[in-house]
Structure 1
């Protein structure tokens, strides 16, 4: 409060304008998401008149969510997406960290050549056709590994970690060696704990990349039972495959096709696909604000 009282009138006006602008951006960002959530909870009979600006459900109903969450395609897609994304992120973060640590060591033989080869993959990324033939030759077509192994190590994220590892003080590594730590112990017990913030950032990047992947899933996965949630979403939202979703509900006697509105189903389906990212992001966010070497050099 004391700092605010010392502001000049011009600074107060600037402060109010900045805060107002940021709040306005927050409203514009969150309003579409809240509108989708409200639409999915609206009474089916009132969905047709629901405004795109409303953020409060018109009535309250769980029929849309019950229908979607009980549908086998949605359940399988959600499981496939979680499994494929978790596997991709785990392999990607660990593989990127190991390769980045090796490239950050000045004594690595052929370090310059490897680094140039990594940069070439950024400029000349292979197209979908050679990528398809590679997966076919490896026997990975119609398997989740064809999607998991795509960009399992990103050159961009690799460079970020290389620069991060190069800034680790040599004194820490020398101290670990004096204590008798071998290279693997140094990497896992000294380097990785110091790189929590960087690894969390890389993990979030990989998470968003693989969770939103649907193009290669459509090409490589012919079996619909192996489709991730994003492909199921595309089939439903873009192609308007309402019968595929509601048809099984009619067979099980859950809800009639005339009782549900396509807008509400699309809103619920879209929100299901973005909910995991919204839930995980705050958990990773705390690592972004931590100092890279917080307390590392304290005696």
Structure 2
């Protein structure tokens, strides 16, 4: 970062203080995550002696990851979580974008009443019990769709997109209309390129929401084979039975599991659940650095 050479001494001190505070926040945030990674890759025999500040593995070992990766429950949970997350996020993005584009049209009949209804859903959340009865009555219990569709459009994200679409210059819409574009073509070729950074941001929010979902999945999904990874993690953390968590048949693997502490297995499971988000975030980050109007200019 380049600083202005004309800064006063007070401004330099202020800059150093702010930078130091931000670095301290980064260290405090990353240290617990790095500690979990270190524990999961450490020698199981040395894990009990590791302090909570350790961020370097104590003797490198893949025993924890070998047990977790070959666990049938973890494999199913990971596949289920990926399916629920990506299908749910895709539906959320499409539904939220279409609804926001429709409500951004001031000529839409009943627009004010629909917006009031959206605001009411923010203030008065129906809760889990009515949702459960709805899922039961429409026959979605014990189905992936009960976790995917229970919140197809999040009201807060909808309002964000509505306000963004309302700020799109009228000249762009008028030019598309003169070129003979219908509303869907205008949305796809004009609005989406203009708002792709905001849509990507909302998509990230939806992705995190689906990936971290465990409470409703635990209630709606009765079949353990359909549990996402977060529910598998919760069951293991609550029950703390590492042999049932390993779920293997040969005695040699059971012997290896007996040498691994619960702490190491928990660290591995938690690392496994947060790793996909850490890997996906940099791919979406590039959309945040672009201006919201970058898609409106053609070379």
> Which TM bucket (shorter chain)?
over 0.9
- The 5 A counterparts of 1:118-129 are 118-129=118-129
- The 5 A counterparts of 1:203-242 are 203-242=203-242
CA contact (8 A) 2:78 2:229 kept: yes
Partner of 2:189: 189
- Name the CA distance, whole Å, in 1 between partners of 2:46 and 2:217: 36
Quick one: structure 1 residues 195 and 249, their matched pair in 2 at CA, closer, same or farther if it must change by over 3 Å? farther
- Name the CA distance, whole Å, in 1 between partners of 2:278 and 2:297: 35
CA contact (8 A) 2:71 2:247 kept: no
Deviation at 1:4, TM superposition (A): 4.3
Quick one: structure 1 residues 144 and 98, their matched pair in 2 at CA, closer, same or farther if it must change by over 3 Å? same
- Name the CA distance, whole Å, in 1 between partners of 2:195 and 2:100: 12
Quick one: structure 1 residues 11 and 185, their matched pair in 2 at CA, closer, same or farther if it must change by over 3 Å? same
Deviation at 1:66, TM superposition (A): 1.0
CA contact (8 A) 1:249 1:255 kept: no
TM-score normalised by structure 1 residue count:
0.96
3-state DSSP class of the match of 1:292?
Answer: coil
CA contact (8 A) 2:131 2:150 kept: no
CA contact (8 A) 2:39 2:57 kept: yes
247-256 vs 85-94, which moves further:
247-256
Deviation at 1:258, TM superposition (A): 2.2
- The 5 A counterparts of 1:51-130 are 51-130=51-130
Quick one: structure 1 residues 250 and 257, their matched pair in 2 at CA, closer, same or farther if it must change by over 3 Å? farther
- Name the CA distance, whole Å, in 1 between partners of 2:2 and 2:140: 65
Residue 225 of structure 2 is aligned to residue 199 of structure 1: no
Question: How many aligned residue pairs are there?
Answer: 299
- Name the CA distance, whole Å, in 1 between partners of 2:162 and 2:2: 44
**CA RMSD after TM alignment:** 1.7
Deviations 1:82-111 (A, max 9, x none): 000101100000000000000000111111
166-175 vs 286-295, which moves further:
286-295
Residue 237 of structure 2 is aligned to residue 246 of structure 1: no
Deviations 1:116-139 (A, max 9, x none): 111111111112111111100000
Q: Mark the runs of 5 or more structure 1 residues left unpaired by the alignment.
A: none
Partner of 1:282: 282
Quick one: structure 1 residues 169 and 262, their matched pair in 2 at CA, closer, same or farther if it must change by over 3 Å? same
Residue 49 of structure 2 is aligned to residue 49 of structure 1: yes
Q: Which aligned runs of 4 or more in structure 1 are off by greater than 6 angstroms?
A: none
Quick one: structure 1 residues 295 and 82, their matched pair in 2 at CA, closer, same or farther if it must change by over 3 Å? closer
Quick one: structure 1 residues 266 and 180, their matched pair in 2 at CA, closer, same or farther if it must change by over 3 Å? same
- Name the CA distance, whole Å, in 2 between partners of 1:6 and 1:50: 48
- Name the CA distance, whole Å, in 2 between partners of 1:289 and 1:249: 50
- Name the CA distance, whole Å, in 2 between partners of 1:139 and 1:2: 60
- The 5 A counterparts of 1:22-41 are 22-41=22-41
TM-score normalised by structure 2 residue count:
0.96
Deviations 1:221-273 (A, max 9, x none): 11000000000000112321312123426457475332211111000000100
Deviation at 1:5, TM superposition (A): 3.3
CA contact (8 A) 2:92 2:206 kept: yes
CA contact (8 A) 2:190 2:296 kept: no
Quick one: structure 1 residues 261 and 127, their matched pair in 2 at CA, closer, same or farther if it must change by over 3 Å? same
